[in-house]
Amino acid sequence: MNQNLAFADYAVFIIYFIVVTTYGFTIYHKRKKDEQDAKAYFLAEGNLTWWAIGASLIASNISAEQFIGMSGEGFFLGIAVAAYEWLAAVALIIVAVWFIPVYLKNKIYTMPQFLKTRYNESTALIMAVFWLFLYVFVNLTSILYLGAVAINGLAGGEYLHVIMVGLALFALLISLGGMKVVAYTDVIQVAVLIIGGLVTSYIALTTVGQYFGVGENAIAGFKVLMREAPEHFKMIIPKPTATSSQLDIDKYLTFPGLMSYLAGIWIINLNYWGCNQYITQRALGADLQTARTGILFAGMLKLLMPLIVMLPGIAAYVLYQNGHLPQLVGGKDGAYSAVLTFLPTGLKGLSVAALTAAIVASLAGKVNSISTIYTLDIHKKYIQKEAGEKQQVNIGRIAVFAAMLLAVLFTWNDILGIGGVGGFTYIQKYTGFISPGVFAMFFLGMFWKRTTGTAAIVGVILGFVLSVLFNEYAPMLFGNETLLYTAYPNGKGAFEIPFHICMGLSFFFTMLAMIAISFAGPKVNPKAFEIDSEMFKVKPQTTVLIVITLLVIVALYVKFW
């Protein structure tokens, strides 16, 4: 099947590009009078609406790692990977009710600022550097690489570097206008990616129905998927036994059954949504009720995401197993692009626009966060302390250019080996190297007044060291025998612990160390935040949103447990 795009596809994409850039320019023009105001540039002048906050959160979160990476995991694992999205909705409820009030009451602009206010300068500086490296060399690079590979496959396979540069320039165009331009263009981006994603899923299901003789009916196609790949519709991956195949072992290593729920997946979600620069920049653009509503709106949108980004992967698996798909380009990460080849002219352009929207929105959100952390937490504090408003904005823009340039350079020939690991797993695994220590530090810092600055520094360093040890040196720690029930042969003569469980172990021991160290300090740390029960009270309409979201999640788990 010819994967090249037709004129109508390019026309749809160009219309999308014109709409987004025109709207972004209009928003930028409206706030041009505040051009030299650093708060306007980094925090959207503190007046984002709830729908802009929610849409912007989703647009920055849903990117190539989901469209390409999660579709790939859907191809490989099945519906189990939807746990990342559905439990993210629960995590967003926790963040909206308990985390955001702490941030807003203490006027937190950035995550390093939180650490300085609660702990000390050293902790803030260490984490600012950690985050900058993570955002540039894990997040930006993987999103840019996966997105360029996917669109390149649809465009004929000869334009990888041109597409990579084009995506980077498009994201720069959006992000240089500041947080308000990013957030409000994200409203269009999230609409495009949801509509385009739903169209792709619908076509994938009708294509399955057509090939299996049940008609071009999406519901019938879904039933075919459940019939042809029943193992792909189980939320729990069973633990391997001595007779398990290497494929079953690899699946468990990626998503280790119930242990994923007891260990890593909660740390991933609560750290990502509750201790992440993207959240604070949007939440600080509103009062508490607006921020809560926006975050809960994002949580409800997360319930839709598996339908958009995971289901096409399962469809690709069934079609591939039955000889209706050619060899996947790029392994499992080629599943989404393969499904797009079935789309008719015009709709293929819409899906490429949706994919581009996801990539560009996420890139723009991340480079904006990078520029905020660098400008406010490093440059102004340690390099140019007297920098004025205009200088801060200009420094932020230079940081945006520098971050994107580094991302392009490191993805040019896939120096980091993203393609070999699998995009989604690459991000989750290497983000997981710092997540346990960071989440322990934030959680104890918010809710335990005794936590000390020394404990925080030890926690973030120990969490990273333990994560590396558990992930990379399992044989040295536990021996080359399967005495530890989480260790299984990885096919290379060694043993490997699933990275979710590595995160759980690292978090557990880091928490113990931080608590022990804090007991050596005063009963109440002078820098502890004031917390009262009034902060966490929610309005009736907020309770309704929470109950609806939880009921939907329970129904989904009852269906697919």
- Position 149 scores a pLDDT of 79
Reduced to 3 states, what is the DSSP secondary structure of residue 497? coil
Mean pLDDT, range 64-87, rounded to an integer: 87
The per-residue pLDDT of the chain, averaged, comes to 83
- Position 484 scores a pLDDT of 39
d(CA 388, CA 495): 54
d(CA 495, CA 242): 14
Phi, psi of 20, deg, nearest 5: -65, -50
Return the higher-pLDDT residue of 431 and 242: 431
Return the higher-pLDDT residue of 206 and 250: 206
Return the higher-pLDDT residue of 174 and 444: 444
Q: Given a cut of 80, is residue 23 above it in pLDDT?
A: no
Residue owning tokens 């190297």 = 433
Return the higher-pLDDT residue of 514 and 329: 514
- Position 278 scores a pLDDT of 67
- Position 141 scores a pLDDT of 87
Do 356 and 151 form a contact (C-beta atoms < 8 A)? yes
- Position 178 scores a pLDDT of 62
- Position 389 scores a pLDDT of 79
Of 35-39, 343-347, 453-457, 466-470, which gets the smallest average pLDDT? 35-39
- Local confidence band at 120 (pLDDT 50, 70, 90 cut-offs): very high
Do 395 and 379 form a contact (C-beta atoms < 8 A)? yes
Length of the chain in residues, anyone? 561
Q: Given a cut of 90, is residue 130 above it in pLDDT?
A: no
- Local confidence band at 137 (pLDDT 50, 70, 90 cut-offs): confident
Of 15-24, 135-144, 200-209, 534-543, which gets the smallest average pLDDT? 15-24
Summarised one tens digit per residue, pLDDT across range 84-95 is 999 999 999 999
- Local confidence band at 264 (pLDDT 50, 70, 90 cut-offs): confident
Pick left, alpha or beta for residue 142 (phi over 0 → left; psi -120 to 50 → alpha; otherwise beta): alpha
Burial 359-373 (b: 16+ CB within 10 A, else e): bbbbbbbbbbbbbbb
- Position 486 scores a pLDDT of 46
Nearest CA to 63 out of 5, 139, 170 is that of 139
- Position 349 scores a pLDDT of 82
Cβ burial, residue 430 (10 Å; 0-12/13-18/19+)? buried
- Local confidence band at 492 (pLDDT 50, 70, 90 cut-offs): very low
- Position 296 scores a pLDDT of 95
**Percent of the chain whose predicted confidence (pLDDT) is above 90:** 35
Return the higher-pLDDT residue of 124 and 513: 513
HEC string of 114-182 equals HHHHHCCHHHHHHHHHHHHHHHHHHHHHHHHHHHHHHHHHHCCCCCHHHHHHHHHHHHHHHHCCCHHHH
- Local confidence band at 285 (pLDDT 50, 70, 90 cut-offs): low
- Position 78 scores a pLDDT of 92
Burial 440-467 (b: 16+ CB within 10 A, else e): bbbbbbbeebebbbbbbbbbbebbbebb
H/E stretch holding 496: strand 495-496
Tokens matching residue 543: 């309770």
Pick left, alpha or beta for residue 331 (phi over 0 → left; psi -120 to 50 → alpha; otherwise beta): left
- Local confidence band at 131 (pLDDT 50, 70, 90 cut-offs): confident
Mean pLDDT, range 56-83, rounded to an integer: 83
Q: Given a cut of 60, is residue 487 above it in pLDDT?
A: no
- Position 226 scores a pLDDT of 94
Of 399-403, 449-453, 486-490, 505-509, which gets the smallest average pLDDT? 486-490
Summarised one tens digit per residue, pLDDT across range 353-378 is 877 877 887 788 788 888 888 988 89
Mean pLDDT, range 254-273, rounded to an integer: 88
Q: Given a cut of 80, is residue 416 above it in pLDDT?
A: no
Do 89 and 54 form a contact (C-beta atoms < 8 A)? no
- Local confidence band at 522 (pLDDT 50, 70, 90 cut-offs): very high
- Position 422 scores a pLDDT of 59
Nearest CA to 211 out of 373, 342, 391 is that of 342
